[in-house]
Amino acid sequence: MNKNTIGIDAGGSLIKIAFEETSRIHFKKYPIEDMESALNWLKMLAASNKIVLTGGKAGRIKADFFPEAEIVNEFTAACEGAKYLMEQENMSLQEKVLLVNIGTGTSWFVMEGSHYERVLGSGIGGGTFMGLGTLLGNSRDFSELVELASRGTRGNVDLLVKDIYHPEEPPIQGDLTASNFAKASKSKENSAADQMASVINMISETITLLSVQTAALHSTKKVVYIGGTLSGNKALQSYLELYAKMSGLETVFLRDGEYSGALGAKMY
Question: How many residues does this entry show for the chain?
Answer: 268
| CB of 79 closer than 8 Å to CB of 92 | no
| CB of 268 closer than 8 Å to CB of 72 | yes
Helix (H, G, I), strand (E, B) or coil at 258: helix
> Is 74 among the residues known to form the active site?
yes
> How many angstroms separate the Cα of 107 from the Cα of each of 111, 143, 196?
13, 23, 23
Before 167, cis peptide (omega within 30)? yes
CA–CA separation, 153 vs 143, rounded Å? 18
CA–CA separation, 254 vs 260, rounded Å? 9
DSSP 264: H
Residue of 21, 68, 74, 250 marked catalytic: 74
Strand ranges, E, within 144-219: 159-160, 177-179
| CB of 143 closer than 8 Å to CB of 234 | no
| CB of 52 closer than 8 Å to CB of 5 | yes
Query: Cβ–Cβ contacts within 10 Å for residue 133, how many?
Result: 25
Catalytic residues: 74
